[in-house]
Amino acid sequence: MLSCAKMIGIRSPFIYFIDPVRAEIVMEFIEGKNAKEMMTHDLAYRIGRYAGLLHSNNIIHGDLTTSNFIVGKKLVLLDFGLAFHSVRNEDKAVDVKLIKTILKSAYSSV
């Protein structure tokens, strides 16, 4: 799913090595701050653009929260462990509902 996201323009960590026997993944370290620590209107907009780009390509993240975005030189989306492909609007709505609930409850003043 990381590769699919990269192909549509979503910045995500580069995978260097996967060891299925040891259940290990070695990936790029992303320099920056967690989005949940620095939420602004502009950042919320950029997160929404990422969600729209994912969904327009039928990619459901599955855990679309501010904790899964790193803000550095570019916005980076992490943790595709629950991601899957779907054309169902209901699946896309679950992603949107989660991020909307988090933004509304944690950042109501932004």
State yes or no: is 42 an active-site residue.
no
Residue among 63, 79, 91, 95 flagged as catalytic = 63
DSSP assignment of the chain equals: -HHHHHHTT---PPEEEEETTTTEEEEPPPPSEEGGGS--HHHHHHHHHHHHHHHHTTEE-S---GGGEEESSSEEE---TT-EE---HHHHHHHHHHHHHHHHHH-TT-
- Catalytic residue numbers, as ranges: 63
